[in-house]
Chains A and B, each alone.
Chain A
């Protein structure tokens, strides 16, 4: 877009641009969304590519289960990264990609859950109940999934409007979902005594959450000073 969408007179606009960086407009960000959509779909399409090329290892069910779990976590972390990135770059319009990333996290978690229901538990309800109760890591994973459902359902513009401030509070659940996701991954890897990956993603999550805590604390101090 050649012209600034700012309503301010040109002189003021120029001064603002020199002080901050040029801000992307909502429609500029929206134009990037189809590209992002396809990027987020690549992990899913890759399974079909690997499936046709004998690349899903000797245990394809395990491969798909782990891959869908990994991409759920990756999408969750990306969703949580939107706010820090848009504030650090001073690009508020980036919030426009957040819902899509969050819904992709939900897309991958649904596939992850389906592998467990259909391929691992063979759709046997009693064995699912038993598995959730017997295995801490399944319990934690299920709790994280259940928390994601209301967030996905209320992700629409309409629900945002209807819930108002309550929407913001409800969607803070994603912090708990992130922590449960890491715990789930950690407990799963405990069998291998190999925590390199859970530590890596746990650290990323901790940084994303810490950033919010520090910012909230600074804002409070600033408003107290005023």
Chain B
């Protein structure tokens, strides 16, 4: 552990109290229902900031909760916004869990562009504004399971990555997608440690990327992503270990061959390209059978991990006939 504790330095005034956001969520859902019933689409865009001036991150305009991925569908409590935004792995800012919160403030997120290239008919560079409006923004509550055997339940805001990929028209040769995270040496102190051959790269098979669960993510808890969570946009692949879900994406490259990914490059015997959540396949140095639920009581035991993080129904068919032990 570090010599000095790096506990979160969010003033308590910055944290939306649980009853407040619960009430807001309920209100939004009711409003969405009314909007749907009366044809007042887009009413969600005019949501007031219930928590007042303390909420500094702007809300995601036009966001609608997707009932298929409502919090109620998950048998676990939502992780608090404070925990989600103060306990992060984002090595560009340091390897400590509090480092991203402490040091990501200087990351420049405007202007932001995403270059989509490789095996596509229409390679393009998108401005962030364009991307935000490319498809309807939905709120989806997903489980997040870190390879380090802890987990959260997070209300993300975004839309399926497939919406973006369709825009650039993948060629018939496009079999894989690579995501590249930005590097800002002046704002990312972790880049001076050669822990990872920067930039951070992750990737998916094309069918995984096109799966409706794979989310191009712009927000959490109804607001723009905080820097430490991968602002201004990131990938969320809920059935895979968290490291697959690249943050602060600047490049998306489609290719015929399996792309380079960071953790496979560092430790191929410990981290695989697929990295599907799987309680039956232990990490070489620890078991993946159970997970620590962040936000639980101090004496709460770890809980069993679900295969594909509980999303087997939607994704197990992607891996028919594959040996998931060999393809970890």
Contacts and interface: CB of A to CB of B under 8 A. Distances in A.
Nearest to B293: A59
B7 A55 contact: yes
Interface in A141-175: none
Contacts of B301: 122
B255 interface: no
Contacts of B48: none
Nearest to B85: A58
Given A70-B1, A131-B287, A61 B7 contact: no
B287 A134 contact: yes
B56 interface: no
A131 B95 CA distance: 25
A57 B292 contact: no
B300 to A, nearest CB: 9
B103 interface: no
* Range class of the A interface residue count: 20 to 34
A204 to B, nearest CB: 13
Contacts of B270: 191
A50 B95 contact: no
A137 B1 contact: no
B267 A193 contact: yes
B266 A50 contact: no
Contacts of A197: 2
Contacts of A58: 8, 82-83, 86-87, 97, 294-295
B196 A193 contact: yes
B98 interface: yes
Interface string B281-307: 010011100001011001101100000
B198 interface: no
Interface string B1-36: 110011110000000000000000000000000000
Given A50-B7, A120-B302, A135-B286, A57 B267 contact: no
Contacts of A57: 5-8, 86-87, 97-98
B127 interface: no
B285 A136 contact: yes
B193 interface: yes
Given A58-B86, A136-B285, A50 B5 contact: yes
A165 B166 CA distance: 79
B1 A134 contact: no
Question: 5 nearest interchain CB pairs?
Answer: A58-B87, A58-B83, A66-B1, A55-B7, A122-B301
30 contacts: A50-B7, A54-B7, A57-B5, A57-B6, A57-B8, A57-B86, A58-B8, A58-B83, A58-B86, A58-B97, A58-B294, A59-B87, A59-B97, A59-B294, A61-B292, A62-B150, A62-B292, A66-B1, A70-B1, A119-B298, A119-B299, A134-B287, A136-B285, A187-B285, A190-B285, A191-B285, A193-B196, A194-B95, A194-B193, A194-B195
Interface of B: 1-2, 5-8, 82-83, 86-87, 95, 97-98, 148, 150, 193, 195-196, 266-267, 270, 282, 285-287, 292, 294-295, 298-299, 301-302
